[in-house]
């Protein structure tokens, strides 16, 4: 399950999906987001806002790492997921400074991001499918969370599910990475397919 393997002619280990780096960035995002919420709740608003911007910047980096990781599964869906995450992050950053152009909650973007990442994980064969199903459930939960009657009754359960799904994916990436042989096979097939249609 390790990323670091011997290179081949088409996809080398230097082109590995950097799964463990993505896991570490995910962890840093979690820690900074929690810190931002803690600071804001204790009336350190300026410091909380600054840390919140750092958290969004980390999420942007994570989106780019995930884009590269899931390109072999579907370049189009992976790009769409990255764009949705980037839009949500920029919306969130602007919202911190009360400059958001829309009234949309960033959670709209991150709900769809979780759904797309979950689908990509399920479609991939280099990560366990149960992680993808958890992310899909989390995405559906976050979408439902935006409906006030559901939020009022089930907010705790939805939050636990969302945190559990993302934490499980994060820990798997840090501890196990991806099955690089299977990832490389998908990447090699994608390279061959793209050459075929040139």
**Angstrom distance (rounded) from CA 164 to CA 176:** 17
Give pLDDT tens digits for 92-139.
Answer: 899 888 887 777 788 889 999 999 999 999 999 999 999 999 999 999
Q: Tell whether 112 is covered by a domain.
A: yes
Instruction: Tell whether the model's pLDDT for residue 84 goes beyond 90.
Output: yes
Q: Tell whether 99 is covered by a domain.
A: yes
What's this model's pTM, rounded to 2 decimal places? 0.86
What pLDDT shows up at residue 8?
44
Domain count across the chain: 1
Q: Tell whether 4 is covered by a domain.
A: no
Q: Which residue range is the domain that position 179 belongs to?
A: 16-188
Instruction: Output 6 or 14, whichever has higher pLDDT.
Output: 14
Average pLDDT, the chain: 87
**88-97, 150-159, 185-194, range with the lowest pLDDT:** 185-194
CA angle centred on 97, ends 91 and 101, rounded to 5°: 45
Rounded CA Rg of the chain: 18
Q: Tell whether 71 is covered by a domain.
A: yes
Query: Which single residue is written with the structure tokens 């501890």?
Result: 175
**Angstrom distance (rounded) from CA 77 to CA 86:** 14
Instruction: Output 190 or 88, whichever has higher pLDDT.
Output: 88
Q: Tell whether 119 is covered by a domain.
A: yes
Give pLDDT tens digits for 24-71.
Answer: 999 999 999 999 999 999 999 999 999 999 999 999 999 999 999 999
What pLDDT shows up at residue 52?
94
Q: Tell whether 10 is covered by a domain.
A: no
Q: Is 184 helix (H, G, I), strand (E, B) or coil?
A: helix
**54-63, 77-86, 166-175, 177-186, range with the lowest pLDDT:** 177-186
Confidence class for position 147, pLDDT limits 50, 70, 90:
confident
């Amino acid at each position: 399950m390790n990323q670091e393997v011997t290179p081949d002619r088409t996809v080398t280990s230097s082109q590995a999906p950097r799964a463990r780096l993505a896991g570490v960035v995910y962890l840093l995002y979690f820690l900074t987001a929690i810190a931002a919420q803690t600071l804001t709740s204790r009336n350190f608003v300026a410091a909380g806002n600054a840390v919140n911007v750092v958290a969004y910047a980390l999420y942007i980096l994570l989106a780019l790492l995930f884009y590269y990781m899931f390109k072999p599964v579907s370049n189009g869906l992976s790009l769409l997921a990255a764009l949705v995450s980037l839009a949500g992050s920029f919306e969130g950053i602007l919202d911190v400074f009360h400059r958001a152009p829309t009234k949309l909650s960033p959670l709209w973007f991150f709900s769809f991001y979780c759904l797309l990442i979950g689908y990509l994980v399920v479609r991939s064969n280099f990560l366990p499918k149960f992680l993808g199903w958890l992310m899909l459930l989390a995405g559906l939960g976050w979408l439902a969370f935006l409906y006030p009657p559901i939020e009022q009754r089930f907010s705790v359960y939805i939050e636990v599910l969302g945190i559990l799904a993302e934490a499980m994916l994060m820990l798997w990436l840090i501890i196990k990475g991806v099955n690089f042989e299977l990832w490389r096979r998908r990447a090699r097939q994608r390279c061959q397919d793209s050459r075929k249609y040139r």
